[in-house]
Amino acid sequence: MAEIHPFRALRYDTNKVKLDEVLTQPYDKITPAMQERYYAASPYNLIAIEKGKTFPDDTAENNVYTRAEKKLNEWIAQKILIQDQTHAIYVYSQEYMVPGMHTRKVRIGFIALGRLQDYSAKIVFPHERTLTAPKADRMELLRHTHVQTGQLFMLYDDRARTIDTYLEEIARTPTQLELRDEFGVTHRLWPVDHTAFIRRIQTAMADKNIIIADGHHRYETALNFRNECRAKSGKTGPQAAYEFAMMTFINSHSRGLTILPTHRLIRNVANFDFERFRKALAPFFDWYSYPFLNPGERETSYADFRKDLGRQNHGRRAIGIYPGKIEGQAGAFFLFLLRRDANLETLLPDLTEAQRGLDVVLLHRLILEKGLGITAEAVTAEKNVVYEREIDNAIAAVDRGEAQLACLLNPVRVQQVVEIALGDDVLPQKSTDFYPKLLSGISIYQVEGQIEQ
């Protein structure tokens, strides 16, 4: 099943740079403002490799990928980046506050090489579909640099927490490899080269399936690069570096796992009328309102609404709706509860039971399609739906008139992701947001040569 190997990571020399000045968030989370901030932080910031700037006069000889290759080689020559002397597995912990809550968690995992497997082998399972453009970008970068800077976030099933126990024992020891990122997350790393520890991890992982939690584009890029290298060499070398990818493995039963919801903002719906919308959903949902007439009442109503949105509601699934100001009131929050007599098997016969168990599916197939006439094609075209992670930002967008409705979701559960992925199915786009992100550059894998067995 899962084949795990230690490796000699390429890492920043902390005698020459400060980790909090050179590491970045994953490439697909880096906004233009973040990119500028990273460039300003240090001349050795990973941004020059992870997501460099493009320019109008770029050429085949001088472009974002060739510049990344040049920077990488310069930093290795200057010993800004140095390769560890021994093969190791890297224990990696992240201590963080859950956004919007007063809850502190610690998520712990380990970084190692995992053998790349085609999905058809039923060892590695995706949970979402990928797009072509990001894979083309990552492929070109990998061709030029031959390094993997970003972590693949992989889940494995260890209900007994056997591996977590090994990792937590290591994490109780001091480490100098610690930094706090721009989101207040404290990252710690422990390189472990003890043979006994490595063998315990390899043995414990040997019977595991792996689910991609985050990094689908990078995983499929690594597969494509592997296939390209195989074609060039004319053979399959089982221990060739390109047969592996750098992965961070985290237990699906980890106490530190957090998935955040991604809320939907609805806009550009012609002739939108909230009362008509509410009546259209009456066959499927009961609703409760949390009205307010002034700022003081709004604060109380919002607190009650948030509490009820997140509770079990006697086993009934809840979706929050905020339409802003409505006739006769300053405003109200609404909770739509799936009716007890709603037969989802009849309403959504084309979906599996696991898919029907997702709140985001109820939102799209019942509330958006039947309540507003927003089809899957319109969602894909981003004509009527935009996405927002922060619930307060979604509500504020409605108040500013930038959206007609905010549709507010509870997060997907980890075991729902596992069940759907292992069932050879995928979740709808923008269903999962694993928090926090794994930092790019905390360890780097040089995809060259052979790896030790």
Task: Give yes or no for a contact between 384 and 267, defined as CB atoms under 8 angstroms apart.
Answer: yes
Predicted local confidence at residue 407, as pLDDT: 97
The β-bridge partners of 43 are none
Q: pTM score, two decimals?
A: 0.93
Q: Is residue 428 part of a domain?
A: no
Nearest to 154 by CA among 110, 191, 95, 220: 110
CA end-to-end span of the chain, whole Å? 16
Residues 286 and 341 in one domain: yes
Give CA 50 to chain center in angstroms. Answer: 17
* Tokens encoding 391: 């619930």
Look up the domain containing 122 and give its range. Answer: 4-258+435-446
At a CB cut-off of 8 Å and minimum separation 6, what does 280 contact? 370, 371
* Tokens encoding 408: 């507010």
Q: Is residue 429 part of a domain?
A: no
At a CB cut-off of 8 Å and minimum separation 6, what does 30 contact? 24, 38, 47, 50, 51
Amino acid at 387: Y
At a CB cut-off of 8 Å and minimum separation 6, what does 189 contact? 90, 91, 92, 111, 175, 177, 178, 442, 443
Residues 161 and 55 in one domain: yes
Q: What is the sign, positive or negative, of the torsion defined by CA atoms of 18, 433, 414, 149?
A: negative
Residues 278 and 393 in one domain: yes
Residues 349 and 287 in one domain: yes
Residues 73 and 215 in one domain: yes
Predicted local confidence at residue 253, as pLDDT: 97
d(CA 290, CA 303): 10
In 86-232, which ranges are E strands?
89-97, 104-115, 124-125, 147-148, 152-156, 178-180, 186-192, 210-214
The β-bridge partners of 258 are 435
Predicted local confidence at residue 102, as pLDDT: 81
Q: Is residue 453 part of a domain?
A: no
Task: Write out residues in the chain with pLDDT < 50, as ranges.
Answer: none
Residues 74 and 186 in one domain: yes
Residues 271 and 368 in one domain: yes
Predicted local confidence at residue 451, as pLDDT: 82
Residues 150 and 287 in one domain: no
* Full 3-state SS string of 404-421: CEEEECCCCCHHHHHHHH
Q: Is residue 47 part of a domain?
A: yes
At a CB cut-off of 8 Å and minimum separation 6, what does 131 contact? 217
Going by DSSP bridges, is the β-strand pair 285-292/210-214 parallel, antiparallel, or unpaired? unpaired
Triad 42, 150, 33: Cα angle to 5°: 45
Residues 246 and 356 in one domain: no
Number of domains in the chain: 2
d(CA 219, CA 146): 15
Residues 302 and 406 in one domain: yes
Going by DSSP bridges, is the β-strand pair 433-435/405-408 parallel, antiparallel, or unpaired? unpaired
Predicted local confidence at residue 329, as pLDDT: 65
Q: Is residue 287 part of a domain?
A: yes
Residues 234 and 266 in one domain: no
Predicted local confidence at residue 129, as pLDDT: 86
Tokens 């380990």 belong to which residue? 110
Question: Is the previous residue joined to 43 through a cis bond, with omega within 30 degrees of 0?
Answer: no
Q: Is residue 419 part of a domain?
A: no
Q: Is residue 415 part of a domain?
A: no
Residues 160 and 245 in one domain: yes
Predicted local confidence at residue 1, as pLDDT: 80
Going by DSSP bridges, is the β-strand pair 152-156/104-115 parallel, antiparallel, or unpaired? unpaired
